[in-house]
Amino acid sequence: MDVSWFKVFRLASRDYFHEALMSACFVLALAAVLGPMMVLFGLKFGIVGAMVDELIENPRNREVRPVGRGYYDQAWLDQVRARDDVAFLVPRTRSIAATIELNSEFSARIVSVELTATGQGDPLLQPDSPLPEDTTSVVLSQSAAEKLGVAAGDTVDGSLARRFRGKQERVHLPLRVAAIAPARAFSRDGAFVSLALLEALEDFRDGRAVPALGWEGEPADTHRTYPGFRLYAQTIYDVAALRDAFTELNVNVRTRSAEIELVQRMNRNLTAIYWSIAIVGLVGFSLSFGASLWANVDRKRKDLSVLRLVGFRTADIVWFPMVQALFTAILGWALAVAIFQTTSLFINEMLGPQLESGQKVCRLLPWHYAIALLLTCIAAVLAAGFAGFRSARVEPSDSLRDL
Amino acid sequence: MSSEISAPSEAEGPLIYHLRDVVKTREAEGVAFRLRIPSLQIAMGEKIALIGKSGCGKSTLLDMLAFILQPSEAGAFSFQPEREQESHDIHACWKNGRLNQLGDLRKRYIGYVMQTGGLLPYLTVRENMNLCRSVLGLRPDGMVEHLAEELGITAHLDKLPDKLSTGERQRVAIGRAVAHRPSIVIADEPTASIDPYAAEKVMSMLIGLAEEFEITVILASHAWEHMEQLGLRRLTHRTIRDHNRMFTETVVTG
């Protein structure tokens, strides 16, 4: 003849809500400690998260740039491209030859743009944006597109001139605008083009023939070398290793590894600071929560004795404070979540304008809420169970006569 | 009828309690206290009064009889709540830590009335009276309402205990102790906190209900007169105080 768990649950909840004021105090006391801790963690997570996101998302942080002029041939570049830690590599041509003058029917201006070679998987371009094909299309930088008054799908006229055998020559070629690059990809007037087009323009300027475009000149060079390349590491964490590998090959490179290290160090330091505060907070929280639950069980000793007197078993009695502690834990957690939501809304609203869109200074993921709830419930069950067990062990006659 | 020391006659039925050489020693504030019961036999259906000043060990004895206080020593301590059943060895339960078995016996066969209170403040009078029944899983059969009528608290059934006077609360406590038809009701000075006139009335109600439902009663009180009128058997006890040795011993027989 066991007393069903449901009866204990019913009695415990009746008691809990009968003493609504007292229960509200316990809930408030819990939320007052848990709420600020959630805000603290939200800030740490939000700030460091934003910094790391910025590091990872901005491809410039993954770039490895050779310094000075080099002579890199296709075979060497292919070898580098084959490395696992290299995400994207495209050769550069001589920068003095990598310009073209553009003109469109929508604007009277002639815009001279810098050309950058691109290709499949270029992190500067949107992953789903169309790539410039061969010698017929380009991806314009935002500033160039604005000056030319064109949008994706329009056609612009490209022209360039050379001095050849004593004569000034100018050639034109129609270029379709395949897409407009995002603003952060290239801030000046520029265009992303295929390597083939860049090579053709360089050849033309050097006085060589470009049969594909019908441009005349000296026969083309058979062994082409490039003065530089544009390389992106797979992740920011590969940058340092790549830099070392290039140094070993006697290629001087410039990277952002110093900045990356700075953020990583900051992350470590902030995490350490956070944890020292969090551990102090957690200890304080456990003590205050445990103490209030303990005091509550002690206060209810007589009622619990009455329950034993009418035949509730020790195991049933222990459930009584545990059910009530769980109520406090869940309600207190809910209130703490409300405190966190309000505070983080306020913080994000206040600092929002200084951030890139979509970034938040103070935020938590759903599983953070779940962890907070779980920890609170475990603390509640432990403290209340321990206190309940202790009071259930006392001979009921002792506590019955107290009052 | 008022034979104080002789064992109850056969006609009164089997013994619900049988105690031999039971001792409880306690020490509080440097004063040693000992309750000694060389022999105690209580027959089913008997109504027993334990009369004496406070501090003489009445509550200690009642708590041992209600299985909420463990005797320090016991030659024999058996409990037979029903005629057809074997008797239970209470001392063995204590010694072997079978507290749940004691709890089950208490739940089924014992009603307990405390000196004050003992009502759960968050339950209505009806729910408080129904508590023992509910714990036993008994279906409502009008018993609670019947008791409320006998005890004159029908109007208060749906109120919380803090809306009631002390006397009314004691009546609720008596109702709760009887509602599940226990074999025995143990009452520790159930009227000590109410005025003498109301006290007599409440006491009469308790005895009346016990007779109606054939329940054995053991109660502690400090006034004998009214108990005698109600036909209770008085347990004898004598208390020896040794002030020099800070020692008190009470010996109860019956």
3-state secondary structure of A172: strand
pLDDT, average across residues B8-15: 60
Percentage of chain B lying above the pLDDT 90 cut = 37
Contact B185, B215 (CB under 8 A): yes
Q: Helices B166-179 and B143-151, interaxial angle, to 10°?
A: 150
Whether residue A233 is found in the same domain as residue A272: no
In terms of CA atoms, which chain B residue is nearest residue A3? B135
Residue with the larger pLDDT of the pair A48 and B87 = B87
- Give residue A256's Cα distance to chain centre: 18
Least confident of A116-120, A329-333, B53-57, B185-189: B53-57
**For residues A137-165, b (16+ Cβ closer than 10 Å) or e, as one string?**
bbbbbbbbbebbebeeebebebebebebe
- Find chain A residues with C-beta within 8 A of B106's C-beta: 309-311
- Find chain A residues with C-beta within 8 A of B137's C-beta: 1
Whether residue A293 is found in the same domain as residue A358: yes
Helix runs in A58-108, H state only: 74-81
What's the CA gap between A267 and A189, in Å, rounded?
Answer: 36
Per the listing, tokens 């500067």 go with A124
Q: Which of A157, A153, A178 is nearest to A107 (CA)?
A: A157
**This prediction's pTM:** 0.69
Q: Is residue B7 over pLDDT 50?
A: no
Q: Is residue B112 over pLDDT 80?
A: yes
Whether residue A284 is found in the same domain as residue A233: no
pLDDT tens, position by position, A171-187 = 888 888 888 888 888 88
Percentage of chain B lying above the pLDDT 70 cut = 93
What's the CA gap between A263 and B40, in Å, rounded?
Answer: 84
In angstroms, how far is the first alpha carbon of chain A from the final one? 31
Domain assignment present for A62: no
Whether residue A106 is found in the same domain as residue A145: yes
Whether residue A53 is found in the same domain as residue A79: no
Whether residue A267 is found in the same domain as residue A380: yes
Q: Domain boundaries in chain B?
A: 10-253
In terms of CA atoms, which chain A residue is nearest residue B71? A395
What pLDDT is attached to residue B127?
Answer: 93
Tally of domains within chain A: 2
Residues found in chain A: 403
Å between B10 CA and nearest CA of chain A = 32
What's the CA gap between B87 and A101, in Å, rounded?
Answer: 112
Concatenated DSSP letters of A133-152: PTTTEEEE-HHHHHHHT--T
Q: Which of A112, A116, A109 is nearest to A88 (CA)?
A: A116
Q: CB contact, 8 Å: B27 with chain A?
A: no
- Count CB atoms within 10 A of the CB of residue A22: 13
Question: Quick one: CA dihedral A29, A30, A34, A35, positive or negative?
Answer: negative
As a dihedral over the C-alpha atoms of residue A19, residue B169, residue B177, residue A385, rounded to 10 degrees, the angle is 20
Whether residue A244 is found in the same domain as residue A268: no
Beta strands in A130-248 (DSSP E): 137-140, 155-164, 167-180, 190-193, 225-226, 228-233
Contact A15 B134 (CB under 8 A): no
Contact A233, A10 (CB under 8 A): no
The H-or-E segment that residue A221 falls in is: none
Q: CB contact, 8 Å: A395 with chain B?
A: yes
What pLDDT is attached to residue A358?
Answer: 63
Looking at A213, A232, A251, which one is the last position of a domain? Answer: A251
What pLDDT is attached to residue A13?
Answer: 92
What's the CA gap between A173 and A160, in Å, rounded?
Answer: 9
- Count CB atoms within 10 A of the CB of residue B232: 23
Contact A227, A65 (CB under 8 A): no
- Find chain A residues with C-beta within 8 A of B160's C-beta: 18
- Find chain B residues with C-beta within 8 A of A302's C-beta: 117
The 3-state secondary structure of chain B reads CCCCCCCCCHHHCCEEEEEEEEEEEEEECCEEEEEEEEEEEEECCCEEEEECCCCCCHHHHHHHHCCCCCCCEEEEEEECCCCCCCCEEHHHHHHCCCHHHHHHHHHHHEEEECCCCCCCCCCCHHHHHCHHHHHHCCCCCCHHHHHHHHHCCHHHCCCCHHHCCHHHHHHHHHHHHHHCCCCEEEEECCCCCCCHHHHHHHHHHHHHHHHHCCCEEEEEECCCHHHHHCCCEEEEEEEEEECCCCEEEEEEEC
What pLDDT is attached to residue A395?
Answer: 61
Looking at A226, A251, A276, which one is the last position of a domain? Answer: A251
Range of the domain at A235: 68-251
Of B99, B104, B114, the CB nearest to A314: B99
Domain assignment present for A63: no
Tell me the count of A-B CB pairs closer than 8 A.
72
Residues 97-156, chain B: which have Cβ within 8 Å of A? 99-100, 103-104, 106-108, 112, 114-123, 131-132, 134-137
What's the CA gap between A312 and A304, in Å, rounded?
Answer: 9
In terms of CA atoms, which chain A residue is nearest residue B103? A311
Strand partners, A176: A137, A155
Whether residue A131 is found in the same domain as residue A200: yes
What pLDDT is attached to residue B6?
Answer: 45
**For residues B139-170, b (16+ Cβ closer than 10 Å) or e, as one string?**
eeeebbeebbebbebeebbeebbeebeebbbb
Whether residue A267 is found in the same domain as residue A171: no
Helix runs in A254-365, H state only: 257-299, 301-309, 314-351
Whether residue A123 is found in the same domain as residue A247: yes
Domain assignment present for A274: yes
Interface test with A, best of B61, B65, B106, B122 (most A CBs within 10 A): B122
Q: Which of A138, A256, A134, A154 is nearest to A186 (CA)?
A: A138
What pLDDT is attached to residue B148?
Answer: 93
Tokens of B95: 């010694």
In angstroms, how far is the first alpha carbon of chain B from the final one? 14
Contact B117 A310 (CB under 8 A): no
What pLDDT is attached to residue B4?
Answer: 43
Residue with the larger pLDDT of the pair B249 and B186 = B186
pLDDT tens, position by position, B14-39 = 889 999 999 998 877 777 888 888 88
Quote the ipTM score. Answer: 0.80
Looking at A251, A278, A298, which one is the last position of a domain? Answer: A251
Contact A148, A104 (CB under 8 A): yes
Taking the domain B10-253, which CATH number applies?
3.40.50.300
- Find chain A residues with C-beta within 8 A of B123's C-beta: 11, 14
Domain assignment present for A24: yes
Å between B2 CA and nearest CA of chain A = 31
Per-residue pLDDT of chain A in tens (403 residues, 90 and over written 9): 455 678 888 899 999 999 899 899 889 988 988 898 888 888 888 877 777 777 777 788 888 888 888 888 888 888 888 888 888 898 888 877 788 888 888 878 888 888 888 888 888 888 788 888 777 788 988 888 888 888 888 888 888 888 888 888 888 888 888 888 888 888 888 889 888 888 888 888 888 888 888 888 888 777 888 888 889 988 888 888 888 888 888 888 888 888 888 877 887 887 788 788 878 877 887 787 788 888 888 888 888 888 888 878 777 888 888 899 999 999 999 999 999 999 999 988 888 777 665 667 788 888 889 988 998 898 888 888 888 887 776 666 666 664 4
What pLDDT is attached to residue A331?
Answer: 95
Contact A381, A326 (CB under 8 A): yes
Whether residue A76 is found in the same domain as residue A206: yes
- Find chain B residues with C-beta within 8 A of A397's C-beta: 59, 63, 68-69
- Give residue A73's Cα distance to chain centre: 37
Contact A311 B66 (CB under 8 A): no
Q: CB contact, 8 Å: B28 with chain A?
A: no
Q: Is residue B10 over pLDDT 60?
A: no
